[in-house]
Amino acid sequence: MKKLLFALALIIAASMGQLNAKVPVIGISSYNSTDASMADLTYIECVKKAGAIPVAIPVLSDSVQIEQVMSMLDGIIMTGGGDFDPLRWYGEQPRREMTIIQYERDDYDIMMARAAIAKGVPVLGICRGEQLLAVAFGGALWQDIPSQVEGNVKHNQMPTNPKYPTHSIYIEKGSILAKLLGKEEVRVNSLHHQGIKRMPEGLKAIAHSADGVVEAVERAGRIKGYKDAGGWLLGLQFHPEILVANGGDNTFLPIFETFVNEARKYSAGK
C-alpha cells in the first residue's frame, strides 16, 4: 500500500510539474497594411507546431514600448517583407530596382532586433529577418541581386508556388543549420531580390547558394559595437515556415523546434 501511495505521489508531482512548466512565448514581428498590423499565419502555425505560444507584435515606434514587449518574450521571429532604406542604414544611394520602403517598419525592426540581442532573447530571422541581422548591426545588403551579383540562380521564384523548393543551398559543416538538418546540401524556396553583402563583426555566413549569395548566418562571437548578451541566433534567407506550414515538409521543422527549445532555456534562466 505504501509503495502504491508513493507511486501515486510521484505521478501527481510529475503532472503538477508539467502543468506548472512555462510554455515559451514567441513574438512574431508584424508589417503594416492600409488599416492593420499583421503577421503571416505560416509563422504562427510553425511556432504552435514546435510547442510554443505565438504572439504577433504590432509595428511600434516607441523604443520604451519595444523594450517592455521584449522583456515579456522568450524568443522572437523577425519575419519577411520589403526592402530597407539603403541610404539611411548603410550609406548607399538607392538603385532603380529597389521596391517600396516602409520607413516605420525599418525603425521597428531595427529597434526590435537590437533590443533582443541586448537582452539575449533567442532570435530567428527569416528572409528580410536575416537581412535585418546585418543591417541593424552595421552590415550592408545587395540592393538587387539580379543586377548586382553574377550567376544564374533565380532568387525570387514567384509566380511559382512558394511551398515548393526551387534551388539548392550549400551549408557549412558543423554549423547550427547543418546539425539541425543533418545534411550539407538542401533544396529551398526563395522569395527575395536582396541579400547580405557585408556581414557585421560577430556574425558569419554558414550557407550559400551556387552564386555565392548568403543563405544562412549564425554567431561568430559577440556583435562588435552593440550591446550583446550572447543569445542564440540564426538567420535564414529562405522561407522554412512556408515549407513546413503550407508544404508539409517537416525537413525544416527542427529549426523551429530547436528555436523553441532555446526560448524555453532562456525563459528558465530569467
φ/ψ region of 182 (left if φ > 0, alpha if ψ in -120 to 50, else beta) reads: left
What's the CA gap between 13 and 179, in Å, rounded? 35
Name the residue with cell 548586382: 148
Find out whether 243 and 234 touch, Cβ atoms under 8 Å: no
The one-letter amino acid code at 78 reads M
Q: Do 266 and 25 touch, CB atoms closer than 8 A?
A: no
Domain 41-226+233-268 has CATH 3.40.50.880: yes
Q: What does the alpha-carbon distance between residue 162 and residue 188 come to, in Å, rounded to a whole number?
A: 9
Whether residue 17 contacts residue 10, with contact meaning beta carbons closer than 8 Å, is answered with no
SS3 labels along 79-128: CCCCECCHHHHHCCCCCCCCCCECHHHHHHHHHHHHHHHHHCCCEEEECH
Per-residue pLDDT of the chain (270 residues; tens, 9 = 90+): 433 333 333 322 333 344 346 899 999 999 998 888 999 999 999 999 999 999 999 999 999 999 999 999 999 999 999 999 999 999 999 999 999 899 999 999 999 999 999 999 999 999 999 999 999 999 999 999 999 999 989 999 988 899 999 999 999 999 999 999 999 999 999 999 999 999 999 999 999 999 999 999 999 999 999 999 999 999 999 999 999 998 788 999 999 999 999 999 999 998
